[in-house]
Amino acid sequence: MSTTTVLKPVSLQGARLPKWAPWGVAVTAVAVAVAAGLAFGLHSRVQWGLIAAVLFVLGTFALSAKVEGRRQAKDRVATSLVWVAFLLAVVPLLSLVWETAVRGVKVLDGYFLTHSMGVVADAEPGGGIYHAILGTAQQVGLATLIAAPVGVLTAIYLVEYGRGALARAVTFFVDVMTGIPSIVAGLFILSLMLMLDLQPFGFAGSLALAILMLPVVVRSTEEMLKLVPNELREASLALGVPRWRTILKVVLPTAVGGITTGVMLAIARIAGESAPVLLLVFGNNFINANPFEGAQASLPLYIYQQYINSAGSTAAYDRAWAAALTLIAFVMILNLVARGIARWKTPR
């Protein structure tokens, strides 16, 4: 005689925690963590946060397992882990932006943005970053003028024409280029400069930045072009449109939003590079509007030099923070513009 398992009639309705339960657990966890931190004399806020995070995850599991059952509890733990991970990622970012903003606004004004350091000594107050903004704009602009067309054309070759050994070799070298440390790109151009017996100048920095920018542009453009449905290419070819016009008039317009975003992000990446600029552009306290002759300044280099040459002076620190804030704002604005263009150009 075999034993048969008798299934209990299952109700579709189970006990559920109220909607505010996660918030309640979170608030309790933070309160307990603060209390524990004060009681045990823990100074670091990071420790408080970690205690709160662990309590939040464990508390959620215990409460949910008790009320709702194990399956629901696992679901809630996964959700709370995602939230904790999100906060872990966002907190440092926000704290960085906040810290930079608070320290940076002290000397950030119209005068600061429109004057160079000139003869202001590093330890004294005064001066500005006009020369550095000008240098960064010119060096990054020239680098983009080189890297964006070459990168986009390379990606077009890889996606639309590339077959066989050459395409594989190009893909391989683009991968390798992605991993080049910025200082190595700088040294590469520096060796050329030494061979030709040249003094530092802005365009040399642009060349190194272009090397760093190129693989980013190629990769992002490649991905965007691959997203263009093949049916559109075939539709155009079947109308008797030559391949190059198909690419120019059908494929590129369809992908232009994504390509622009990719180029903007690549610009944002190189705008913060200081190592190659230090080697090749050298830095300059005076305004030099000619990127092809003489040393120039740039924002990341300015920040570094203000810090190094500060001799402990708060004036130099304040200027470094203000320049850092300017740089972050520049990159953020570029990102927002890129998103705007992507949204505006995406076919609906």
Partner 1 sequence: MAKRIDVSGLSAFYGAHKAIEDISMTIEPRSVTAFIGPSGCGKSTFLRTLNRMHEVVPGGRVEGKVMLDDEDLYGPGIDPVSVRREVGMVFQRPNPFPTMSIYDNVAAGLRLNGSYKKSELDGVVEQSLRGANLWNEVKDRLNKPGSGLSGGQQQRLCIARATAVQPKVLLMDEPCSALDPISTLAIEDLIGELKEQYTIVIVTHNMQQAARVSDRTAFFNLEAIGRPGKLIEIDETERIFSNPSVQDTEDYISGRFG
* Cβ-based nearer residue to partner 1, 92 or 242: 242
* Cβ-based nearer residue to partner 1, 105 or 232: 232
**Rounded CA separation 70/59 (Å):** 14
Strand partners, 282: 296
Tell the smallest beta-carbon distance from residue 163 to partner 1 (Å): 7
Assign 19 to helix, strand or coil.
coil
* Cβ-based nearer residue to partner 1, 197 or 231: 231
Q: 121 with 138: CB under 8 angstroms?
A: no
Tell the smallest beta-carbon distance from residue 132 to partner 1 (Å): 40
Tell the smallest beta-carbon distance from residue 331 to partner 1 (Å): 29
**Rounded CA separation 272/174 (Å):** 21
Q: How far is CA 344 from the centre of its chain?
A: 22
Distances (CA, A) of 241 to 156, 226, 238: 17, 20, 7
* Cβ-based nearer residue to partner 1, 89 or 232: 232
* Cβ-based nearer residue to partner 1, 226 or 249: 249
Looking at the chain, the number of H-run helices and the number of E-run strands are: 14, 0
* Cβ-based nearer residue to partner 1, 255 or 303: 255
Tell the smallest beta-carbon distance from residue 235 to partner 1 (Å): 5
Spatial CA neighbour of 155 closest among 222, 212, 230 = 222
Task: Give the residues lining the site for partner 1 (CB under 8 A).
Answer: 163, 229, 231-242, 245-246, 249-250, 253-254, 347-348
Residues 6+ apart with CB under 8 A from 181: none
Tell the smallest beta-carbon distance from residue 228 to partner 1 (Å): 9
> Which residue matches tokens 């150009």?
345
Tell the smallest beta-carbon distance from residue 172 to partner 1 (Å): 20
